[in-house]
């Protein structure tokens, strides 16, 4: 059982929890994730470790409230305990001095890039961060990321904050300005990562993406997270979650995220009844 020490609502449907789990905090590295089971009957869901504090023995997880299990997780309050938390999982991000690195976060992916931005800056890279969301209200971690890099750029679909447009537009401009970019890291919704890879491909700029397929055990046992990278099937949970974006079969990834969409509503309705709230 792992106690929730802090809970914040970062945006309308995005929450952040700080949980006491010293054994994970001490072993966590940027890019690692955890599996969370908020109640005994819930799903096992993978969430990126958004921050880890070894001294305090805590980790932070950030999640979008999209389905039944995230709804349950969000129903927990400070002082409540999460019954199961497994991690750190996956390969950590590869951190070294690359030169100039553009790190892109979209949606809840904005929070997920935070540990990498911190580590890349510390390793002596010039880090340019681009974050994007539908509108200003959904932008998160602006302040925190601003502290970790000198160049933070913001885009919103509706222009309510920063540039009106997509993160890929900003990426295009950086590249066409003649700036030498050594590495791009993109974390967010599949279409966003795909478009970023298309922008960098003609320029042969190495682009790392963090994939988010369906996971179950997340320890390499079930294979539901299989993704095709460079023509080969890989298990994202143990061989990823970060891969060379130019090699990823995004179409298949998109298809493999779909199978349970039609029953998600059923699960969500059930949870809303449990929590006595009206489904949205």
Q: What is the pattern of x (binds other proteins, CB under 8 A) and - over residues 1-40?
A: ----------------------xx--x---------x---
99 vs 260, which CB is nearer to other proteins? 260
Distance of CA 276 to CAs 69, 71, 79, 146, Å?
15, 12, 21, 39
How far is 221 from 195, CA to CA, in rounded Å? Answer: 31
Cβ-Cβ contacts under 8 Å for 102 (sequence gap 6 or more): 127, 128, 129, 130, 171, 174, 181, 183, 184, 185
44 near other proteins, rule: CB under 8 A: yes
Q: Give the rounded distance of the alpha carbon of 115 from its chain centre.
A: 11
27 vs 277, which CB is nearer to other proteins? 27
223 near other proteins, rule: CB under 8 A: yes
CB of 41 to other proteins, least distance (A): 5
99 vs 220, which CB is nearer to other proteins? 220
- Using the contact rule CB under 8 A, the part of the chain among 41-49, 107-115, 135-143, 177-185 near other proteins is 41-49
233 near other proteins, rule: CB under 8 A: yes
Is 149 among the annotated ligand-binding positions? no
- Using the contact rule CB under 8 A, the part of the chain among 42-50, 100-108, 136-144, 160-168 near other proteins is 42-50
Written in H, E and C, the secondary structure of 121-185 is HHCCCEEEEEEEECCHHHCCCHHHHHHHCCEEEEEECCCCCCEECCHHHHHHHHHHCCCCCCEEE
Binding-site members for [2Fe-2S] cluster are: 222, 225, 237
- Name the residues that contact other proteins, by CB under 8 A: 23-24, 27, 37, 41-44, 68-69, 72, 83-89, 216-217, 219-224, 226, 228, 233, 238, 252, 255-256, 258-260, 263, 266-267, 269-271
């Amino acid at each position: 059982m792992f106690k929730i020490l802090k809970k914040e609502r970062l945006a309308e449907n995005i929450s952040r929890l700080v949980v006491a789990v010293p054994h994970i905090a001490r072993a966590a590295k940027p890019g690692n994730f955890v599996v969370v089971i908020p109640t005994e009957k819930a799903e096992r869901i993978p969430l990126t470790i958004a921050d880890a504090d070894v001294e305090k023995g805590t980790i932070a997880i950030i999640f979008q409230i999209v389905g039944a299990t995230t709804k349950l997780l969000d129903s927990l309050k400070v002082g409540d305990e999460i019954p199961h938390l497994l991690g750190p999982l996956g390969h950590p991000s590869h951190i070294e001095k690359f030169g100039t690195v553009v790190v892109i976060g979209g949606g809840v992916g904005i929070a997920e890039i935070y540990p990498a931005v911190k580590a890349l800056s510390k390793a002596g890279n010039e880090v340019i961060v681009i974050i994007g969301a539908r509108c200003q209200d959904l932008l998160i971690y602006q302040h925190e990321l601003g502290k970790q890099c000198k160049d933070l750029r913001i885009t919103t679909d509706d222009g309510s904050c920063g540039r009106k447009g997509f993160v890929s537009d900003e990426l295009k401009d950086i590249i066409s300005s003649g700036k030498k970019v050594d590495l791009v890291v993109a974390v967010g919704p599949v279409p966003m990562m795909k478009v970023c890879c298309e922008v960098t491909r003609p320029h042969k700029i190495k682009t790392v993406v963090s994939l988010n397929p369906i996971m179950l055990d997340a320890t390499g046992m079930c294979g539901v997270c299989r993704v095709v990278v460079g023509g080969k099937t890989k298990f994202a949970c143990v061989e990823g979650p970060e891969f060379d974006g130019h090699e990823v079969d995004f179409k298949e990834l998109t298809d493999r995220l779909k199978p349970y969409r039609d029953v998600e509503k059923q699960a969500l309705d059930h949870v809303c009844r449990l929590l006595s709230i009206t489904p949205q």
